[in-house]
Amino acid sequence: MATNYDRYVARMKKIADIGHAIAVLSWDKETYLPKKSAAIRSQQIATLSGIVHEEFTDPTFGDLLTRLYNQRNLDEEKKKNISVTIHDYDKATKFTKRFVMQKSMAVSNCFHAWLKAREANDFGLYQESLEALVKIKRTEAKKLDPKADHLYDNLLDQYEPGLTVATCDTIFNDMKKPLKKLIKKIKKKKAPKNGFLFKRYDKDAQWNLGIYILNEMGYDFDRGRQDISTHPFTTSFSADDVRVTTRIDEMDLSNMLWSCIHEGGHALYEQGLPIENYGLPTGSAISLSIHESQSRLWENNVARGKAFWSKYFTTVQKMFPKQLKKQTAKSFYRAINVIEPNLIRTEADELHYHYHVLIRYEIEKALIEGSIEVADLPEVWNAKYKEYLGVEVTDDVNGVLQDIHWSHGSFGYFPTYSLGSFYAAQFYAQAEKDIPKLEQQLAAGNSQVLLDWLRENIHRHGRRYEAEELCEMITGEPLDVKYFMDYAKKKYAEVYS
C-alpha cells in the first residue's frame, strides 16, 4: 500500500513533470518559436504555471506535508525533503493562482518587448511592459514578507535562500577595496595583446569548437543538446535532458567560448543531480549561487587557466590556423585574461565583472524599494557605468537592454553571480588540496577528476544541504571573498608579468 511518503513523492513528480513541460515550452520559445506565435505560447505557459501552482498549493497536499513533518520514522534524507518542501509550500501559498498566471503573462510580454526593444535598440519599447512586471515583483516581494528589513531581501531569497541586502552589502564591501587595488596595480602594467581574438572566426567552425569543448568537459550529449539563442542559457527537463544554448559572434571568438563553457558548467551540475530523486529537493540544485559556482569554476578557474590551454590550444589553433598562427598556448592564455573595463557583462573580464554585478544589484535594490522607477533605468545605468567602470554607454543594446533577466522578472538573481565566483574560488582552492596534481591533470586533459570531485562533493547532494552549510562542509569555512582575491592576485601577477 502507498505510504504518505509515497503519496508525497508522486505529487512532487507530477508537479515536476508539469514544471518541466513549462521548461520545454520556454526553451522552444527562446530557440525555435516562429515569429508570430508568441501570444498563444505565453498563454499556454501561463496555463501550465497556474496548474503547477494549484497542484503545489492544494491544501490537502499541505495537510499531507504536515502529517509527514510530524512522522517520526522518516530517515534524514526524507526529513530533509519534507522540510524543504514545507518551506517552499509556505512561500507558494502566499500567492493566488490568478497572481501566478498574471505574473507568467507579464513575463512573457516583457520578454517579447525586450526582444523587440533590442532589435530596435530602443529601451522605450520595453519600458511599459517592464513597468507592469516591476509592479508585480514589488507586490510579490510584499506578499512574501511585508516585515522584511528590505523588500528586496524577499526576492534575493528566491534565488539564494537566506540571502539579504545586509549580507550582500558586506560581501560587496569586502570585495570593493582589494578589487580596486588589484585593478589599479594591473593597469600600471602593459596589457597582453588580444586583437587576434577579434578576427573573423567562421560560425560553423566556432560551433564545432564549442561542441568539442563541451564534450571534453564531460557534458553528456546523450542527455542534452546545444542550440542557438539570443541569450545563452541552461535548462533542465530532468537530469537526463539538460540543454544548453549559445550564441556566436563571428568577430569575437571569446563570446562563444565563454558562453559554451559557462553554460556547460551549469549543465554538468544538472546532469550530476541524482535522477532517482527527480522532482524532490534532493534531486534539485541548491541555489543559484551554488549553480553559478559551477559555471564560474569551469569558465574561470578551469578554462581561463594556463593548464587548460596548454592542453587545448593546439587543437584550437588547428581549427583556426590563419587567425592563430602566430600564437602560443601562453600568448592565448594571456590574451583571454586581459583586464579592461567594458560595457557588456557577459564579455567582461573576471575582475571588472563584479562591478557589472554590483551595478545591477544597486539598481534592483533601488527599483524594488521604489527609490527609482523603470523610466529612470537608462540614465541610472549609464551613470553607474561611468562611475564604476569609467565607460560611456553608447546605446541601449550595449547598456540597459543587454541582459534578459529583468524581462524574465528575475530581480535578485544578479548578486548570485558574484557569490558564485567567490564560491567557485573557494571550492577550487579546496579541490587543489584534495586532488593530487590537479593542474597537471587538467594540462593532460583529464578534467574528469575535477568533475568527479564536484559530483561527489556537490552535485549528488541536491538540496540536502544549504549553500553555506555545504561550503563549510567542503572547505571547513563559510564563504570568504579572500579565496577569490588570492586566486586573482596570483593569476594576474602571472598574466601581467
The per-residue b/e assignment along 297-308, b for 16 or more CB within 10 angstroms, e otherwise, is bbbbbbbbbbbb
State which of residues 2, 4, 7, 37 lies at the interface with a copy of itself (CB under 8 A): 37
Residue 276 CA to residue 295 CA, distance in Å, equals 24
> Is 57 or 289 the residue whose CB approaches a copy of itself more closely?
57
**Out of 30, 140, 160, 241, which residue is the one contacting a copy of itself (CB under 8 A)?**
241
> Does residue 116 belong to the site contacting a copy of itself (CB under 8 A)?
no
If we measure between CA atoms, which residue out of 360, 491, 379 comes closest to residue 425? 491
20 binds a copy of itself (CB under 8 A): yes
User: Checking DSSP bridges between strand 234-236 and strand 226-228, what pairing results, if any?
Assistant: unpaired
Number of residues counted as binding a copy of itself (CB under 8 A): 37
Catalytic residue, from 30, 140, 263, 468: name it.
263
The answer to whether residue 292 is catalytic is no
How far, in Å, CA of 494 to CA of 484, rounded? 16
Contact between 67 and a copy of itself by CB under 8 A: the answer reads no
> Binder to a copy of itself among 3, 7, 9, 24 (CB under 8 A)?
24
Least distance to a copy of itself, CB of residue 84, Å: 22
From the list 34, 59, 436, 476, which residue makes contact with a copy of itself (rule: CB under 8 A)?
A: 34
Q: Residue 252 is which amino acid?
A: D
CB of 271 to a copy of itself, least distance (A): 10
Q: Per rule CB under 8 A, is residue 326 in the interface with a copy of itself?
A: no
DSSP string, 43-95: HHHHHHHHHHHHHHH-HHHHHHHHHHHT-S---HHHHHHHHHHHHHHHHHTTS
Interface of this chain with a copy of itself, residues 174 to 233, rule: CB under 8 A: 220-225, 227
Q: Which C-beta is closer to a copy of itself: that of 54 or that of 387?
A: 54
In 3D space, the residue among 182, 162, 133 whose CA is nearest the CA of residue 415 turns out to be 162
With binding defined as CB under 8 A, does residue 166 bind a copy of itself? no
> How many angstroms separate the CA atoms of 298 and 266, rounded?
9
CB of 326 to a copy of itself, least distance (A): 34
Q: Please, which residues bridge with residue 246 across strands?
A: 228
In the chain, what is the straight-line distance between the N-terminal and C-terminal CA atoms, in Å? 69
Compute the least distance from the CB of residue 497 to a copy of itself, in Å: 44
Q: Candidates 18-26, 183-191, 298-306, 489-497 — which segment interacts with a copy of itself by CB under 8 A?
A: 18-26
Residue choice 8, 11, 12, 48 for contact with a copy of itself (CB under 8 A): 48
CA–CA separation, 110 and 296 (whole Å): 28
Nearer to a copy of itself, 240 or 252 (CB): 240
Q: State the Rg of the chain over Cα.
A: 22
Shortest gap between Cβ of 292 and a copy of itself (angstroms)? 24
Q: Does 140 bind a copy of itself (CB under 8 A)?
A: no
Count of CA atoms in the C-beta half-sphere (13 A) of 341: 17
Which residues on adjacent β-strands are paired with residue 481? none
Could you give the 3-state DSSP secondary structure of residue 265?
helix
Residues that bind a copy of itself (CB under 8 A): 13-14, 17-18, 20-21, 24-25, 28, 32-37, 39-41, 43-44, 47-48, 51, 220-225, 227, 237-238, 240-241, 243, 275, 278
Could you list the active site residues? 263
